[in-house]
Chains A and B, each alone.
Chain A
């Protein structure tokens, strides 16, 4: 773990990020990982899946699983608004690239985040799992949590989702 952090420290994570809101908090995802942003369509629920998995959507003929980031981050859930959107992201899994829809409260903008804006991930304690956060950035006086999207879901979870798709 410590190695991973160190490794992260060493990685240059500056670039263009899509910022969005989850419960008034700002998060950012690197645009390289983003396929598309869509308004929330009809979601087909799938039985016997973890609670954070909302179901699947049909995006131009492709079946894509959709997860609720609030649920995933164990934040209190709320009804969807007309600003609720789905960000389709690309995730590497076992050498393949798979697409996953993530439900966010509100997408904001695409912004440049330089290296000097980024701070290391704060150390909350040994037991706290912060692997899915790649860093924290300060832009225009606001703190943006930059997500390591490949770590948001575990390997097992990704397997489950992949299997579901197939």
Chain B
């Protein structure tokens, strides 16, 4: 029944069921509460009032008993009046209680009715007996009244109390019964409500679980399917249990996956075609709807856009393969395809250009190989000359070596001589020192001699004075002293002569002293000169040592040069052999260039165009080369030709090709 209902309807059913159960529970509760209310009302409006009335009656009887005893005890009329009043009031209250009680008596209950009738009868008896007592009192027959009370009324009163208590017991029992019924009713009701609630909760849970399951299962299926589609797996299947909204959703998703699968199949087919090179295959866009049709149609268009230039490129490549170098891609393409077209054209142009260059290069190679051939012969001759020059160098080096050795020996001899010279200078120094000492001795002797001479001079002076005194004395003696005067004169002359000799000697000594001092100074100067000579000889030794070391190095250098010359000799020999080989290789090159020329001639080149362009660009280079050629012809020895001059490949840069496209 529910399989074909929608989710909303199912939800409605579920919630309705729960609401109905709740209504039933509520009605049941109300009904039961009514029963309970009735019981309680019975208790309050019947049993309770009956009980109250019985109690009132009992109170009234008690008041009677007490008042009547008081009437016996108290004898003064004024005291009795109060008890009379009390009895009167009690009668009124008791009568009122009976009036209230009477309609409430359950006359269907035999036991209760019986007790009630006995109660009414004993009441009447009691009232009659009481009236008798009151009459005795009114008649002032107090003894009779007392006896009546003590012996007549006591029995009646006890019976009265007995029936009151009986009735009270019955009423109590009734109340207990009614109260128990009510309690039972409440317990029952509580149980019923709990049971109904439990039923309702269980039912609600079952319904909720079932409805949730019925919604969640299909939705989960849909979510899984959507995840798979999102991950690219469009092969999805659904298990449809209910005919509701989820079923519609699953059907829609199934259709979607089918459409996507169809599109994917088309794409796979196209890819397979492209892989196997069937570039003309296309997908049928009419099998798809809406955006899918747009996609498939777009792919077809994209293929068209890619395949057209490829087809044209294939065509051009075919022509190029057939050695037609003039073929180019002409179509108008955009973006990368334009780049593709430009690259192909550039490749073709480069190829064509390269071939043109090859053609030109072949010509140049053939002329260059001729030149190489002649150059190789010249090289062979030059190598011979070089060899003889190397011989000369070798012998020169031998001479230099022997000279260097001589140099080394001479420098050793020079060193020995310098050492000897230094020794001689040292000896000279010693001799000069001795001479200096001798000079100082001479000086000393001279000074001592001077002193002696001075003494002699003094003696001469004294002698002179003595001679003069003698002369004076002779004069004093007159004629007798004449002979003595002559002697005195002679003595004086001798004294003068000795003084003069002393003076001369002194002069000589002074001169010799001066000479000795001069000698000492000269000795000092000579010593200084010797020291300088020593130093200079030290320098000379250093220089001679350096010369010796330099000669040694020079000798080694000469050795190395010798080795190098030998090496050069070998290389020269090798060069001679190489020149021979070079000549034969040039011959070979020439024949190969001719072969290459034949091969290049097979290509259809847009020759005039390309050549003109290249010739224009390379004009100065070529003219320069021609000049070089002329120079080479004039002078046989200037056979240097650079490869760059022969093959001016660098002259054409990429920029130049932009002009072709």
A36, B465: Cα distance in complex, Å: 9
Find residues 48-101 in chain A having any chain B CB closer than 8 Å to their own CB. 82-83, 85
Do A37 and B469 touch across chains, with their CB atoms under 8 A apart? yes
Q: Given A31-B475, A32-B476, A83-B461, do A109 and B492 touch, yes or no (CB 8 Å)?
A: yes
Q: Other than A36-B469, A37-B472, A110-B471, give 12 A-B pairs with Cβ distance below 8 A.
A: A32-B476, A34-B472, A36-B472, A37-B465, A37-B468, A38-B465, A39-B465, A107-B465, A109-B471, A110-B468, A110-B485, A110-B488
Looking across the interface, which residue of chain B has its beta carbon closest to that of A107?
B468
Q: Which positions 1-49 of chain A face chain B at CB distance < 8 Å?
A: 16, 18, 31-32, 34, 36-39
Q: Are B472 and A82 in contact (CB under 8 A)?
A: no
Checking A36, A82, A85 against B458 with a beta-carbon cut-off of 8 angstroms, the contacting residue is A82
Within the complex, what minimum Cβ distance (angstroms) separates A41 from chain B?
12
Residues in chain B near residue A38, CB distance under 8 A: 465
Give the contacts of B466-489 with A (CB-CB under 8 A): 468-469, 471-472, 474-476, 485, 488
A31 & B492 in contact (Cβ 8 Å cutoff): no
- The yes or no answer to B16 lying at the interface (CB within 8 A) is no
CB closest chain-B residue, reference A16: B475
A144 smallest CB distance to B (angstroms): 16
Q: In the complex, which residue of chain B has the Cβ closest to the Cβ of A31?
A: B475
- Closest chain-B Cβ to A83's Cβ sits at a distance in Å of 7
Find chain B residues with CB under 8 A from A31 CB. Answer: 471-472, 475-476
**What residue in chain B is nearest A19 (Cβ atoms)?**
B468
The yes or no answer to B556 lying at the interface (CB within 8 A) is: no
Interface size class of B (residues with CB under 8 A): 10 to 19
Q: How far is the CA of A39 from the CA of B472 in the complex (A)?
A: 15
Name, among B462, B471, B474, the residue most crowded by chain A CB atoms within 10 Å (CB to CB).
B471
Name the residue among B457, B458, B464 with the largest chain A CB count within 10 angstroms: B464
- In the complex the two chains form, is B461's CB within 8 Å of A82's CB? yes
In the assembled complex, which residues on chain A have CB atoms less than 8 Å from the CB atom of B471?
A: 31, 109-110
Q: How far is the CB of B348 from chain A (nearest CB, A)?
A: 135
Interface residues of B in 289-314 (CB under 8 A from A): none
Q: In the assembly, what is the distance between CA of A36 and CA of B476, in Å?
A: 11
| Residues on B with beta carbons closer than 8 Å to the beta carbon of A85 | 465
Contact partners of B458 in chain A: CB under 8 A: 82
13 A-B interface contacts by CB (under 8 A): A16-B475, A18-B472, A31-B471, A31-B476, A32-B476, A36-B472, A37-B472, A82-B461, A107-B464, A107-B468, A109-B471, A109-B492, A110-B472
Asked whether, in the complex, the Cβ of A82 is within 8 Å of the Cβ of B457, the reply is yes
Per-residue 0/1 for A94-122: is the Cβ within 8 Å of any B Cβ (1 yes, 0 no)? 00000000000001011000000000000
Within 8 A of B (CB), among A143-159: none
Residues on A with C-beta less than 8 A from B485 are: 110
Separation in Å of the B298 CB from the closest CB of chain A? Answer: 149
Contact assessment for A110 and B465 in the assembled complex, using a CB-CB cutoff below 8 Å: no
Q: Which residue of B lies closest to A34 (CB)?
A: B472
CA distance A82 to B485 in the complex (A): 25
